[in-house]
Structures are given as C-alpha cells and as structure tokens.
Amino acid sequence: MGIQHYENFPVGSILLPARLRRPVALIYAFARSADDFADEGDRSPQERLALIDRYARELDVIEAGRQPQMPLFRELGTAIAQHALPVDYFRELLSAFSQDVTKQRYADFGELRDYCRRSANPVGRLLLHLFDAATPHNLDCADAICSSLQLINFLQDVPIDYGKRRIYLPQDELVRFGVSEAQIGRGEADGNWRALMSFQIDRARRMLLAGAPLGRALPGRIGLELRLIVAGGNRILDKLQRTGANVFRSRPVLKPLDWIHMLYRAAIAHG
C-alpha cells in the first residue's frame, strides 16, 4: 500500500491548533511505522506479521490501563486517555497492514472498499475525535474523504505496487475494461487502460466530493486544513486525468504552483 496516503494529511501543520499537533503526529507515527512493517525491507511475511502483532499487544496493554513497553506507545497511551480516542481504530489500521502481507489481489470494489475502511478511514475518525467533532454525519464525510484519498494513492502508485506484486485495482473491473496484469507489467497506457483509469478517477472524485462538506462544517483552521486536503486530492485527480493516467511514465505530484492553487481553492470554499 505504501504510506503516501497518510501524507495527504499535513501532519503537524501550522494550521492545526498547537495542542493537537503532537497527538496528530503520534497517530501518524503509529500508522507509518506499522505500515512500514508490511512494506519496507526484506523481512519474511512471518517477521512482518510478528512486528504488527507486537503493536497489537501494546494496544492491549494500553486498553488494560497498564504501562506499555515501547516509548511510542507510552506517549500514545497518554494521548488516547486525554482525548478518549477509540483503541479499535488503531486495531483496524493494524488489520489492514496485516492484510497487505497476505493479500495481493482484490476481486471487486467491495473488497477494496473494505480494505480502505480499515487502512484509511480510522485516521480521519481519530482526527475527528481529537477535534471533538465525531458526529455521525461528520464521520460519514470523513470516511468518504479518507477512502477517496486511499484510492487516489492506489491510482498514483500502480507501477510501484505492481513491483511489490500487488494490484489494488478490482479484478472484475480489469476484466470489464480489457486490461491484463501483463499489460500493467509492461506499462502500456492504451485506450483500454485510459478507460479503466477514467472510471477509477471518476469514482474517487465522487467520493471525495461527497465528503467535502466536512471542510465547511468544521470551524477555523481545522476546516481550512481539511479543505486543503480535499483540494489536494482533486488536484492529483486532475493531473491523472490530463495525462491519460499514464502513471507508468510519471507519478503525479503536487508542486509549489499546485499548493498556491489549493490554498486559493481552500480559502474560497469556506461558507
């Protein structure tokens, strides 16, 4: 999966209230380090799963009210207690990272969306709890944004994931659009590929826009931060669309001019 989708959240941004920057950074550190267990280095699958399981045991210790062994978890435990953060959201992240070790294909969008529910949505939900804004409507909007950001990351990283023997495009949709795994391996962005990716881009954008009202509902700097995140996701989708989604040639990235555009869009989207 890679960690890039967490970087759609500007961790520790000056836009965040100072009191929340450290808890946000701890959530990010937890997610990033656990994700690295699944993705980085040359460990065996058994070693990767053992490291993720150690994190799960530390969560159990926190939930039992005992002192964790690892420094990250000692500080995380304090943040969880201070902000009443649901421990199950951290467990859902771990379940997704474990799945990355054992599952490399997704039969349909339902399977992929369930993965997004656990790999991305908990981050947004934890942030809403930090902001004291975890209403049912806000949680639904955050889920739409987070799942969309995860899907956007998959679209950006098709060649990178393929190099790790993973494909995060639904198998039934590959068949529907006439795109084979061998074609992905060859990096062929033909008409079938463009049609497939246009379908993926449209779906990710619909999800992103479905959650976008959350950026107007949340007050002050937090709302601006979220509107900036949505603008960034839209900007990446625009870049994918303009290049015919030829991610085999270049991965779309946000450049300084993009950030100026995003800040403008985030500012005028208020109200």
Residues sharing a CB contact under 8 Å with residue 111, sequence separation 6 or more, in sequence order: 170
Alpha-carbon distance of 233 to 243, in angstroms, equals 16
**pTM, to two decimals:** 0.90
The pLDDT assigned to 13 comes to 59
| The pLDDT of residue 270 | 60
Q: From CA 48, how far away is CA 66, in angstroms rounded?
A: 25
The pLDDT score that the predictor gives to residue 85 is: 97
pLDDT, position 267: 72
Residue 234: count other Cβ atoms within 10 Å of its Cβ: 20
User: In the chain, pLDDT over 90 holds for what percent of residues?
Assistant: 78
High-pLDDT (> 70) share of the chain, %: 93
Q: How far is residue 178's CA from residue 188's CA, in Å, rounded to a whole number?
A: 12
Asked if pLDDT for residue 40 goes beyond 50, the answer is yes
Q: How far apart are CA 202 and CA 124, in angstroms?
A: 22
In the chain, list all ranges with CATH 1.10.600.10: 104-271
Quick check: 268 pLDDT over 90? no
Tokens 């601006």 appear where? 224
Phi, psi angle pair for 13, to nearest 5°: -55, 150
225 touches 15 (CB < 8 A): yes
Please tell me the predicted confidence (pLDDT) of residue 243. Answer: 94
Q: What is the CATH number of domain 104-271?
A: 1.10.600.10
35 has pLDDT over 80: yes
CB 123 within 8 A of CB 182: no
Residue 221: predicted pLDDT: 80
- The yes-or-no verdict on residue 7 having pLDDT over 70 is no
pLDDT band at 259 (very low <50, low <70, confident <90, very high): confident
- 156-212 tens-digit pLDDT: 999 999 999 999 999 999 999 999 999 999 999 999 999 999 999 999 999 999 999
Dump pLDDT digits (tens) for 84-122: 999 999 999 999 999 999 999 999 999 999 999 999 999
What is the pLDDT at residue 269? 67
Please write the tens of the pLDDT for every residue from 53-72.
999 999 999 999 999 999 99
Q: Give me the pLDDT at residue 1, please.
A: 37
In the predicted structure, residue 5 carries a pLDDT above the cut 50: no
The predicted pLDDT at position 9 comes to: 46
Q: Which is more confidently placed, 2 or 61?
A: 61
**pLDDT computed for residue 262 by the predictor:** 75
One DSSP character per residue, the chain reads: --SGGGGGS-TT-TTS-HHHHHHHHHHHHHHHHHHHHHHSTT--HHHHHHHHHHHHHHHHHHHTTPPPSSHHHHHHHHHHHHHT--HHHHHHHHHHHHHHHH----SSHHHHHHHHHHHTHHHHHHHHHHTT---HHHHHHHHHHHHHHHHHHHHHTHHHHHHTT---S-HHHHHHTT--HHHHHHT---HHHHHHHHHHHHHHHHHHHHHTHHHHHS-HHHHHHHHHHHHHHHHHHHHHHHTTT-TTT------HHHHHHHHHHHHHT--
> Residue 4, exposed/middle/buried by CB under 10 A (0-12, 13-18, 19+)?
middle
144: nearest Cα among 205, 59, 62, 53? 205
Mean pLDDT of the chain: 91
Confidence band of 255 (pLDDT split at 50, 70, 90): confident
